[in-house]
Amino acid sequence: MSAVPAPGARGWAGKTLLLARKDLVIEVRGRDTLPPMLVFSLAVTLLLAFTLPDTSRPSARVVLPVGTASVADVLAGFLWVTVLFAGLVGFARSFEVERHEGAIDALLLVPLDRSGLYLAKAMTNLAFIVAVELFLFPVFAVLFPIGLGAGVVAVVVLVDVGFVAIGTLFAALAAQTRSRELMLPVLAFPVLVPVFIAAVELTSDLFLGRPTGVVVGAGWFGILVAFDLIYAVVGALAFEYVIE
């Protein structure tokens, strides 16, 4: 896999794709980011499989220190917490390749709008998250009685957009601090809470077997769409100031 497929003049989209491709080539060669994300996901899932009591009925109630919840609620919660933490592990590393040897300076001086830099990095982060989900969700479906229908896929797509949009922005911000791996969760968690609450609520309903049409029509779906739009716009606009 070559980092630069073919030389020649490129526009905004071409340069953006080139930068995203560069990140993926570097990951394929170095395997620095994705393996830790996958190992983390697998470890949490296996731990959950051995910890939870009978999960054969998603509607069964589980007693928690703060009340009771259905098995579907617990599974949805753990599923998205795993995605959240695995994602942050990856995002925290996403600007490492630019910091090393001062490549970020060279990158900031290429004639490409900052939105291109942002989108390229967001596309790479999205690829990592999708790879984790393609691994995690089937493992979850094997270990627990959950269905992965079109509704779950729709929720995953919406969560990924919001998560990557704001995660990439905060990763750029955290990359400029000394304790970036600690700073990223501190910065991103409060902002990501609405997206992941919506994701848990929607996924839990789908795991309980509620019709996709009913779930999509519920308020949480609209909230997720609204936050995606806000985060995508804020991410693209604020990136320029953050990266400089």
Nearer to another protein, 70 or 115 (CB): 115
Residue 67 CB, shortest distance to another protein, in Å, is: 50
Residue 242 CB, shortest distance to another protein, in Å, is: 13
Residue 106 CB, shortest distance to another protein, in Å, is: 4
Residue 38 CB, shortest distance to another protein, in Å, is: 20
Nearest to 169 by CA among 83, 73, 235: 235
Residue 33 CB, shortest distance to another protein, in Å, is: 12
- Whether residue 129 contacts residue 94, with contact meaning beta carbons closer than 8 Å, is answered with no
Residue 76 CB, shortest distance to another protein, in Å, is: 38
- Whether residue 27 contacts residue 33, with contact meaning beta carbons closer than 8 Å, is answered with yes
Nearer to another protein, 25 or 130 (CB): 25
Residue 133 CB, shortest distance to another protein, in Å, is: 25
> What is d(CA 3, CA 45) in angstroms, rounded to the nearest whole number?
35
> What is d(CA 163, CA 196) in angstroms, rounded to the nearest whole number?
9
Nearer to another protein, 32 or 222 (CB): 32
Nearer to another protein, 21 or 180 (CB): 21
Nearer to another protein, 15 or 180 (CB): 15
Nearer to another protein, 2 or 179 (CB): 2
- Which residues contact another protein (rule: CB under 8 A)? 2-4, 7-10, 15, 18-19, 22, 25-26, 29-30, 97, 100-103, 105-106, 108-114, 240, 244
Nearer to another protein, 114 or 210 (CB): 114
